[in-house]
Chain A
Amino acid sequence: MPAYAIRDAEALERRSSPDRPAVVFTNVSLAFDEKAVLRDVSFSLLPGHTKIILGASGSGKSTILKLILGLLKPDGGEIWVHGTRVDHISEAEMMKVRSHLGMVFQEGALFDSLTVAENVGYKLYEETDMPLEDVRRRVEEVLGFVRLSEHIDKMPSELSGGQRRRVAIARAMAFKPPTLLYDEATTGLDPITATTIDEEVVKLRDVENVSSIVVTHQLRDAFFVATHEAVRQGTNIEITPADSKKCDEAEFIMLKDGLITFEGNAAELRASTDPYIRTFLS
């Protein structure tokens, strides 16, 4: 297993896990015109845990992330994010809630006109009073965490697909949000690059106690995140197969036509006899 140097000592010591769930969905429904995208979706994400949302294209996976971020509003139900009900609040109030959330978009969604450093430190540069030297230091730290330090002054167009996703992860974690949302972070990447992304997800969850919601239809990546853990070995971090307790902290949700058809851990998913799940897993 690969070993990584710990770059973010400060982050390691922060955030004891409160009992309050990071995200709660209660009977959430959403339709676009006549088409129901989500129907009575309910789940909760505990701090430091992982929810892996599986489903075919158009099943409503990414919509869930957009609802959490307040980029969309549900037609019915309640959505709570870190103790704030977000389904009916204004955009200005939502801005405060978003400081608890980091999002890794499909394809990265990096800002084309900014360098890697400016992308990663965007929120700190633009939305905080943090001194520029401190921002730069933090940017160097998180780029070190995703092992892209040498690309700090490049433009996004000079990076490969995998590197862009890792910069997107660095940008999402730079302001230390307690919850990270991953929207198809490995789609379109080769298996080796996808594994490096998966390892970043595991490291952030286990080393920094970040709660994660991973939306994907890549089963290989989903099971990797669910069945591995990051362990500190001195000053290094190793990715190893997770014990059963850790595996239970990663819960799968299977969406079909806007409905949750399965909720459980990796072992339960593998053992499911549901024909749709069997087809999906095969």
Chain B
Amino acid sequence: MLSFLTHWIKSALLEVQEYVRLQAQTVRGVFSRPFYFHDVVEQFDAIGIGSLTVVLLTGFFTGAVLALQSGVTLDQFGARPFVGRLVSASMIKELGPVLTGLMLAGRIGSGIAAELGSMVVTDQINALRALGTDPVRKLVVPRVLAGFFMAPVLTVISDSVGILGGWLIAVYQLRVASSLYWTSITDALYVQDAWMGIIKPFILGYVIVTIGCFVGLRTTGGTQGVGRATTNAVVAASVAVIAVDFFVTRLLFTLLY
């Protein structure tokens, strides 16, 4: 039992060490040459534009259902006109970043792990190294940059369509005046809320992509291993999104409010 525990702790520490090492190599790759600009542009397109549909749909329906649910609850206190406050505060501070993060974990985390995992098991990563290319610079750096910068953009889009979805429900179902909805949105928001809503996705985007890359590059065991790596990447990235969101929120409350 003790030896099993020792082995498990050693393995876990090794994984953490390798994850930290990958991050160090990635940061070094961002600030030194060679820099594969073409791949960076390609990944901005794949991660940013490619995730737009899923983020738009998720954001819109989340905002709409939020207005619908909160409208019923607020009615009990005769506070239906304040539905905009609830939608905007929830979307911008919490639901926008987290749901966008979860969608990216599903779409980007799995895609990256599967792609890099396939490259590992078919020797393409070794072929890259044999041809004089550092796989971290060529494959990881562009994806991390794209995840880091596109997650906030996608979150802002998700927040916007969420508020729009809430407006549709508020106006056409809850019969709240349109001007009242928009006024209550701005009334409820503080600058700190906007900061929180924009800082979190940077960190979540970085975490999702680095986990996808790390799991993908450590794939073993052929095609079965690729499937396992994909599942592991999605699970790890999804849990990380929720956990990191909590800790970052806690930190930002201390720093901003």
- Which one of B118, B132, B138 lies within 8 Å of A123 (CB-CB)? B132
- Give chain B interface residues in 77-132, CB to chain A under 8 Å: 118, 122-124, 126-127, 129-132
Contact present for B132 and A109 (CB under 8 Å) = no
Cβ contacts under 8 Å, B131 to chain A: 98, 122-123, 126-127, 171
Q: Check if B133 is an interface residue, CB within 8 A of chain A.
A: yes
- Give chain A interface residues in 204-245, CB to chain B under 8 Å: none
> Count the A residues whose beta carbon is within 8 Å of the partner chain — how many?
23
User: CA–CA, A135 to B134, complex, Å?
Assistant: 21
- Give chain A interface residues in 114-160, CB to chain B under 8 Å: 122-123, 126-127
Contact present for B126 and A126 (CB under 8 Å) = no
Shortest CB distance A101–B (Å) = 7
Contact present for A105 and B126 (CB under 8 Å) = yes
Q: Check if B8 is an interface residue, CB within 8 A of chain A.
A: no
Contact present for A103 and B134 (CB under 8 Å) = no
User: CA–CA, A70 to B129, complex, Å?
Assistant: 9
Q: Check if A91 is an interface residue, CB within 8 A of chain B.
A: yes
Q: Check if B195 is an interface residue, CB within 8 A of chain A.
A: no
Shortest CB distance A113–B (Å) = 9
Q: Size band of the B side of the interface? A: 10 to 19
Give a binary string over B226-249; 1 marks a CB under 8 Å from any A CB, 0 the rest: 000000000000000000000000
Q: Check if A99 is an interface residue, CB within 8 A of chain B.
A: yes
Cβ contacts under 8 Å, B132 to chain A: 95, 98-99, 123, 127
Q: Check if A111 is an interface residue, CB within 8 A of chain B.
A: yes
Shortest CB distance B142–A (Å) = 13
Closest A-chain residue to B39, C-beta based?
A: A126
User: CA–CA, A66 to B123, complex, Å?
Assistant: 11
User: CA–CA, A14 to B138, complex, Å?
Assistant: 32
Cβ contacts under 8 Å, A71 to chain B: 126, 129-130
Contact present for A103 and B130 (CB under 8 Å) = yes
Contact present for B127 and A105 (CB under 8 Å) = yes
User: CA–CA, A106 to B121, complex, Å?
Assistant: 11
With contacts A107-B123, A109-B122 taken as known, whether A127 is within 8 angstroms of B133 at the C-beta atoms is: yes
Contact present for B127 and A69 (CB under 8 Å) = no
Cβ contacts under 8 Å, A19 to chain B: none
Contact present for B123 and A109 (CB under 8 Å) = yes
User: CA–CA, A98 to B131, complex, Å?
Assistant: 7
Q: Check if B36 is an interface residue, CB within 8 A of chain A.
A: yes
User: CA–CA, A182 to B244, complex, Å?
Assistant: 47
User: CA–CA, A91 to B124, complex, Å?
Assistant: 17
Shortest CB distance A112–B (Å) = 7
Contact present for A95 and B122 (CB under 8 Å) = no
Contact present for B123 and A69 (CB under 8 Å) = no
Shortest CB distance A196–B (Å) = 21
Contact present for A95 and B134 (CB under 8 Å) = yes
- Which one of A70, A91, A111 lies within 8 Å of B134 (CB-CB)? A91
Contact present for A109 and B134 (CB under 8 Å) = no
Closest A-chain residue to B42, C-beta based?
A: A113
Give a binary string over B5-25; 1 marks a CB under 8 Å from any A CB, 0 the rest: 000000000000000000000
User: CA–CA, A112 to B226, complex, Å?
Assistant: 16
User: CA–CA, A103 to B118, complex, Å?
Assistant: 19
User: CA–CA, A122 to B132, complex, Å?
Assistant: 10
Closest B-chain residue to A95, C-beta based?
A: B132
- Which one of B36, B123, B124 lies within 8 Å of A126 (CB-CB)? B36
Q: List 26 A-B contacts (CB under 8 A).
A: A66-B126, A69-B126, A71-B129, A71-B130, A95-B132, A98-B130, A98-B131, A99-B132, A101-B130, A102-B130, A103-B130, A105-B123, A105-B127, A107-B123, A109-B123, A109-B126, A110-B124, A111-B124, A111-B127, A112-B122, A123-B133, A126-B36, A126-B131, A126-B138, A127-B34, A127-B131
Interface residues in chain B, defined as those with a beta carbon under 8 Å from any beta carbon in chain A? 34, 36, 118, 122-124, 126-127, 129-134, 138
A69-B130, A70-B129, A109-B123 known; 10 new pairs, CB 8 Å cut-off, are: A71-B126, A91-B134, A103-B130, A105-B130, A107-B123, A109-B126, A109-B127, A112-B118, A112-B122, A122-B133
